Copies of this chain bind each other. A is one copy, B any other.
């Protein structure tokens, strides 16, 4: 998505060789109008596939998931939790996800009542890096016996391998910007997008 690549070039920032900082419009401050455009782009790319639920993970996936819901005619959004809230007393599905950026391991959890076998689930997130959160969400959808429509990703860091993992597992993956490498403060985007 050309406008996203331009926005990352003008507003994003490379940190070292692994991190792209987009806190000005994605994951601290949110440009909601632009999120709406990205949601519509997912709709175009996935076509007229039926989506019953959009699954993401707190916190920074919530905005893009909500705006994607608007574009798909308002399916419910479900966000996986990293902490068990005191009110989460019913059963839940869970799967482990490592964060290489933060050096932590989270357990992602989704209440059983919000995923049903009949659900066709689009998984959405702001970043796809090593694919840990994405694979954990896929695991949760499978535990529920629901089906995965595909993955809608804002920024894929292809050099960290998560996209390869998902595609090799047979999932459709649509990434709006694919980064091949980060070197000397320069972000190199994949030319085939």
What residues of chain A have their CB less than 8 Å away from a CB belonging to chain B?
Answer: 15, 19, 21, 23-24, 28-33, 35-36, 58-59, 62-63, 65-67, 69-70, 74, 76-79, 81, 85-89, 101-102, 110-111, 113-114
**When the two chains form their complex, are residues A77 and B63 in contact, meaning their CB atoms are under 8 A apart?**
yes
Q: How far is the CA of A88 from the CA of B35 in the complex (A)?
A: 22
Task: Point out the residues of chain B lying under 8 angstroms from A70, CB to CB.
Answer: 32, 36
Q: Which of A58, A66, A78 has the most CB of B within 10 A?
A: A66
**When the two chains form their complex, are residues B77 and A29 in contact, meaning their CB atoms are under 8 A apart?**
yes
Q: How far is the CA of A70 from the CA of B110 in the complex (A)?
A: 27
**When the two chains form their complex, are residues A66 and B63 in contact, meaning their CB atoms are under 8 A apart?**
yes
Closest 7 CB pairs of A and B: A58-B59, A59-B59, A32-B69, A33-B74, A30-B77, A62-B62, A29-B114
Q: How many copies does the complex hold?
A: 2
Q: Which of A23, A32, A63 has the most CB of B within 10 A?
A: A32
Given contacts A58-B58, A59-B79, A66-B63, contact A87 B32 (CB under 8 A): no
Q: Which of B59, B76, B102 sits near A32, CB closer than 8 Å?
A: B76
Task: Point out the residues of chain B lying under 8 angstroms from A76, CB to CB.
Answer: 29-32
Task: Point out the residues of chain B lying under 8 angstroms from A78, CB to CB.
Answer: 28-30
Task: Point out the residues of chain B lying under 8 angstroms from A29, CB to CB.
Answer: 76-78, 111, 114
**When the two chains form their complex, are residues B101 and A86 in contact, meaning their CB atoms are under 8 A apart?**
yes
Chain B nearest CB from A82 CB (Å) reads 9
Chain B nearest CB from A96 CB (Å) reads 18
Q: Which of B19, B33, B59 sits near A62, CB closer than 8 Å?
A: B59
Chain B nearest CB from A129 CB (Å) reads 13
Q: How far is the CA of A86 from the CA of B18 in the complex (A)?
A: 12
Closest to A31 in B: B76
Given contacts A63-B77, A66-B67, contact A87 B15 (CB under 8 A): yes
Chain B nearest CB from A14 CB (Å) reads 11
